[in-house]
Amino acid sequence: QSALTQPASVSGSPGQSITISCTGTSSDVGSYNLVSWYQQHPGKAPKLMIYEGSKRPSGVSNRFSGSKSGNTASLTISGLQAEDEADYYCCSYAGSSTLFGGGTKLTVL
Amino acid sequence: QLQLQESGPGLVKPSETLSLTCTVSGGSISSSSYYWGWIRQPPGKGLEWIGSIYYSGSTYYNPSLKSRVTISVDTSKNQFSLKLSSVTAADTAVYYCARAAAAGTGQISGMDVWGQGTTVTVSS
């Protein structure tokens, strides 16, 4: 099983929207609606931002949204803020296993 | 509020067994709604799922680590544990424990509570 594929980095200016993609296969992302997204600031534990593809946990800003098309899941952050600068990881159930993406560093310009 | 705390040696010699424990406080590990998992992050790298366990003892492991990993649960102590055998320098990482919402048998919908992480270095 290979890690899910994410872009290494994305950037955007405050107020803009960005989208991070997460590409898997028909054995993981494409077969299950069980993609989750995590935000990680340096030296901190990851924080759940999206689960089951598009659901937001209580307390997570509605600026964060998730979607899926085929074997690719996406995380969109609208109205970028400086505090959104962090690493983002996607994660998917993969049939008795769980896979993470390689991570995407978001820079807020 | 549920909290998770990892504990164990910060230094392990090559070829030995890494052992960590995650103590759950503020809630019961015996909830039917959750799995309990281990995730690691090598220095400067991404997250890697190690495996998960249900309170009944059912386990699910990363295929690439399965031959070296054992995850167990002690409901009387509200703890679950990780053992990783025959460690090498490649196992040096921050190890996290986390609570994972169950979406079905072995299926995780999201890891919503994480420990702070513990750094384990493999070196002689």
Per-residue pLDDT tens over the stretch B21-69:
999 999 999 999 999 999 999 999 999 999 999 999 999 999 999 999 9
Instruction: Please tell me the predicted confidence (pLDDT) of residue A2.
Output: 81
Cβ(A87)–Cβ(A96) under 8 Å?
no
CB A19 within 8 A of CB A75: yes
pLDDT of residue B35: 96
Report which DSSP code applies to B123: -
Map tokens 């019961």 to a residue.
B28
Report chain A residues whose CB lies below 8 A from the CB of B117: 45
DSSP for residue B16:
S
- Angle, CA of B17, B122 and B25, to the nearest 5°: 65
pLDDT per residue as tens digits for the range A85-97: 999 999 999 988 9
Residue B109 has its nearest CB partner, among A52, A99, A101, at A52
- Chain B, nearest residue to A51 by Cα: B110
Q: Which amino acid is at B19?
A: S
Residues of A in contact with B112 (CB under 8 A): 48, 51, 57
